[in-house]
Amino acid sequence: MRLTTAQALVRFLANQFSERDGVEQRLIPGCFGIFGHGNVAGVGQALLQAAETGEADLPYYLARNEQGMVHAATAFAKMRDRLATLACTASTGPGSTNMITGAALATTNRLPVLLLPSDMFATRAPDPVLQQLEDTRGGDVTVNDAFRPVSKYFDRISRPEQLIPAALAAMRVLTDPVETGAVTLCLPQDVQAEAYDWPEDFFRRRVWHVGRPLPEPDALARAARALRGAEKPLIVAGGGVVYSQATAQLRALAETTGIPVADTHAGKGAVPWDHPCAVGGLGSTGTAAANALAAEADVVLGIGTRYSDFTTASHTVFANPDVRFVNLNVARLDAAKHSADLLLADARTGIEALHVALGGWQVDDAYRSRVRLLADDWRRRTDECYSLGHGPLPAQTEILGALNELADDRDVVINAAGSLPGDLQMLWRARDPKAYHVEYAYSCMGYEIAAGLGVKLAEPDREVFVLVGDGSYLMMAQEIVTMVSEGLKVIVVLVQNHGFASIGSLSESLGSQRFGTRYRYRNEEGRLDGGVLPVDLAANAASLGAAVLKASTVDEFRNAVHRAKAAARTTVIQVETDLHGPNPPGSGWWDVPVSEVSELDSTRKAYEDYAAAKRGRRHYL
């Protein structure tokens, strides 16, 4: 069959499926893109031809920002438990390199996304062309080589026939729970349009089976033995529990054994917040209940977690000098962390096997009682944060409380950066494992609104709330236009506090006096702490096509949420909050180095505090 490379790629992608537990779905059900020179006559023509002739089913979604479309595709994959994702095509040069941040986010979060950046001429006939990097070290280097360190698989298709092994390798990585992340296939602009006689079998329907590895019997016995010997065990539930759809199995294990369950951002909702064994988020922005139990834990069972520094509170939260780790994970990299007993397996099959191996063992009643007392106390603290009565502007926690109350169990809340992730991990009450969508492996400002687009495409029957601060909104709000053009309804809650609340608070705690973190005019002394800038983000949102509501009190915000939920179109609710909090009571530490010497009293005092806190940091050996 004679087709161009781009036409062959489109036809190939339309015939790829994933399967797990007997359920098949399209692996690449669509393609985001922004056309320019390099892909408009290659992939662009191929997508047009597919739509016009019906030769391939690969819908095209016009994005407004290349980084944003990668975020949207990644969020889509997260909602689909890594069993489906979207492709992203961009033009040569800056259009393609704009996707690098999105690639880094996807790979850091272990989420699949397929990137199709256009590249320079493979023939080098018109060398150098517009936007070509001329590297004195080698003629084969292009700007797209920057994708290599942030991709789990990278290839450059310099001849049409190279697409065959490269495309198959790309699908292999996208469907591998251990190795998944950003997959980058660079497509030189001349090769995209070059014709080749393709074997028919390349386009056949392929099903990529995603298995559930079973734990090795001896490893299972070691894990069960360690837990049976524990007096104060703790489970840390990570994203792997959610992606492997093991939430019911985890709840059953917790109920039978009485082991309390703390969660990471990616694992929140695996056990409902009001479950008797749920103790909330763990680590730097964790609950006082989870962190107190972690400090005492003698055996920690990590399930599907990569143990980021926020989860371990920079290696301070697990304070028992004799603490021992058992890690159930499909990836050896994560299972081996903290010198753990390795239980290499899919989360669901591993939990089921461990449940059987524990054979009715459970924690003692005194420990169960302590878990309940700590969890109940934190729930009272959460209620207090949700109903502060702060004024004249409400605290951010009050807005979260109102939204948490008004959101249904299946409604999705999305966030990624600023002060909101910390407040959400401590306070948000999730019952559904897909209801809490906080990207906190890369914590990328600008992810939120683009992710709202991806989540809504993945599960259109869910109400989607995008929580975004004014800082992140200014980074990337363009995909509101895509929501409008696609007729998708998303509710964007724009928290306006005229500055970077999170970094401002961190700056103050580190002795840097909130320097450079407020949105202000430059004053007569040359510092950026003059009057508040007259920025109208609500007007900006309206100009992008969204309906807009404003609120400056909690009651006004509640009314706005009711109206937005009743609406049929994307709505932005701008709510004014106090830049200075107050914040929820913290119980964890995060290692951010402070200047060891300084002329500023505030910095010297902060270094003293830092040096004292750092003494609690340790390697888990």
Both 366 and 428 in one domain: the answer is no
Which whole-number Å values give the CA distances from 304 to 52, 67, 608, in the listed order?
44, 27, 36
* Its pTM surpasses 0.95: yes
Report if residue 344 sits inside a domain: yes
Q: 90 lies in which domain range?
A: 2-209
What pLDDT is recorded for position 467? Answer: 98
Which whole-number Å values give the CA distances from 36 to 66, 73, 281, in the listed order?
12, 20, 44
Which whole-number Å values give the CA distances from 330 to 222, 237, 351, in the listed order?
17, 14, 12
What pLDDT is recorded for position 506? Answer: 75
Residues 6+ apart with CB under 8 A from 121: 127, 129, 188, 189, 190
| 619 band by pLDDT with thresholds 50, 70 and 90 | very high
Instruction: Give per-residue pLDDT as tens, 505-552.
Output: 777 777 777 787 778 889 888 888 888 888 899 999 999 999 999 999
Question: How many Cα neighbours within 13 Å face the side chain of 234?
Answer: 28
Report if residue 599 sits inside a domain: no
Both 100 and 227 in one domain: the answer is no
Report if residue 600 sits inside a domain: no
The tokens of 150 are what? 């942030």
Report if residue 469 sits inside a domain: yes
Report the alpha-carbon distance of residue 372 to residue 350 in Å, rounded: 26
Instruction: Give per-residue pLDDT as tens, 475-501.
Output: 999 999 999 999 999 999 999 987 777
Both 445 and 483 in one domain: the answer is yes
Instruction: Give per-residue pLDDT as tens, 252-276.
Output: 999 999 999 999 999 999 999 999 9
Q: In the predicted model, what is the mean pLDDT of residues 108-115?
A: 98
Closest CA to 413 of 423, 557, 202: 423
Question: Residue 325's beta-bridge partner residues?
Answer: 300
554-566 and 396-406 are packed helices; what angle lies between their axes, rounded to 10 degrees?
Answer: 40
End-of-domain residue from the set 188, 209, 230: 209
Report the alpha-carbon distance of residue 619 to residue 362 in Å, rounded: 29
Residues 6+ apart with CB under 8 A from 195: 2, 3, 4, 160
What pLDDT is recorded for position 448? Answer: 98
Both 184 and 333 in one domain: the answer is no
- Provide the domain count of the chain: 3
Both 205 and 235 in one domain: the answer is no
What pLDDT is recorded for position 199? Answer: 98
Residues 6+ apart with CB under 8 A from 371: 258, 260, 277, 279, 289, 293
Both 125 and 156 in one domain: the answer is yes
Both 20 and 151 in one domain: the answer is yes
Report if residue 614 sits inside a domain: no
Question: Checking phi first, is residue 91 left (phi over 0); if not, alpha (psi -120 to 50) or beta?
Answer: beta
Both 257 and 327 in one domain: the answer is yes
End-of-domain residue from the set 377, 397, 412: 377
Both 365 and 392 in one domain: the answer is no
Both 267 and 148 in one domain: the answer is no
Element (H, E) at 482: helix 479-485
Report if residue 521 sits inside a domain: no
Please give the mean pLDDT across all residues of the chain: 95
Query: Residue 320: which CATH number?
Result: 3.40.50.1220
Report the alpha-carbon distance of residue 305 to residue 144 in Å, rounded: 31
Report if residue 602 sits inside a domain: no
What pLDDT is recorded for position 508? Answer: 73
Q: What are phi and psi of 78, to 5 degrees?
A: -65, -45
Report the alpha-carbon distance of residue 180 to residue 570 in Å, rounded: 32
Is the pLDDT score of 34 beyond 80? yes
Report if residue 382 sits inside a domain: no
Both 433 and 474 in one domain: the answer is yes
Query: Residue 539: which CATH number?
Result: 3.40.50.970
End-of-domain residue from the set 353, 377, 401: 377
The tokens of 58 are what? 């690969």
State the burial class of residue 204 (Cβ atoms within 10 Å of its Cβ: 0-12, 13-18, 19+).
Answer: exposed
What pLDDT is recorded for position 549? Answer: 98
Both 363 and 232 in one domain: the answer is yes
